[in-house]
Amino acid sequence: MPSSRSIALPFAAACLGIASYTAMDAVMKGLSLSIGAYNATFWRTVAGSVLGGALFFGRGLPLPPRSTLKLHFLRGGIVSVMAILWFWGIARVPLAEAIALSFIAPLIALYLASLILGENIRPQAVLGSVLGLAGVSVMLATRAGGHYGADALTGAGAILCSAVLYAFNLVLMRKQALVASPVEVGFFQNLTTALFLLLAAPFFAVVPAIEHAPPILLAASLALLSLLVLSWAYARAEAQSLLVVEYTGFGWGAFFGWLVFGEAIRPAVLAGTALIIFGCYIAVRAPRSPKEMALEANL
């Protein structure tokens, strides 16, 4: 079992990655409102490919083997759909609320880890899932009650669909980090996502105005930084040790949402977030004693 000292630096790096990613979300929300979710995502990944490529080829790194390249393309395909849903959703939902809804992803990742990696699902994971779904229900109840527009409700639905894909992303992140360097992950994540989005370019792509270039470059830089430090962290600590870092995104989302867009946080969001975080804590924590493990085995 890794010591607290051994995971301290990866944990801190992962926190930096989430902070950088949430700052990128704030920039991308503005871009999505200005040029649409597809164009914001497409041009950000194009810029990220250029920045990542400069690092990759500048360091003279070799091209990955076919097996690793397949993993890069698989994650890139998932991220391309996930990102469009996410940025379309946050253009319609307050940033902190969107991030809170996305917290169901670690719960879903537990079941995907069982399906893909053969891990056993413990009874406490089932309980955690129930609490997480209850938290989502609390947040969506006020939106479905007529106090908010249908646009916000469909935005929340897009975010939940994105969260399901993000769960796949969490499982693949650990596998990818074990076989590729952070620079390789950062470059190929942007490149493969851009290639998938390029398929729709003849129908949806529009060259952005020059005033959108600085936020696109800023978003690309923040996303690349997040990929680099998260990949570094996931290569040095188990995913279950880093899942809790995802929840720091709520604080950053609340801060950037208030600072940039003047978004207030509703009490229902705080209550729902508390249920989701508590559910995730129950689901991912390891049994602390042989007696507890025996009790779980008899459930």
Question: What are 150-197's pLDDT values in tens digits?
Answer: 677 888 899 999 999 988 887 888 788 889 999 999 999 999 999 999
Read off the pLDDT band of 120 (50, 70, 90).
low
Query: What integer best gives the mean pLDDT of the chain?
Result: 82
Amino acid identity for residue 221 in this structure:
S
- pLDDT mean over 131-141: 70
The pTM assigned to this predicted structure is 0.80
Helix, strand, coil percentages in the chain from 3-state DSSP, rounded to 5: 85, 0, 15
* pLDDT of 6 over the 70 cut: no
Does pLDDT of 22 surpass 60? yes
- What confidence category does residue 5 fall into, taking pLDDT thresholds of 50, 70 and 90? low
- Give the three-class secondary structure for 208: coil
- Identify the burial level of 297 via C-beta atoms within 10 angstroms of its C-beta, where 0-12 means exposed, 13-18 middle and 19 or more buried: exposed
Domain count, the chain: 1
Question: In which domain, by residue range, is 52 found?
Answer: 4-297
Q: Identify the sign of the CA torsion 112, 113, 115, 119.
A: negative
pLDDT at 124: 66
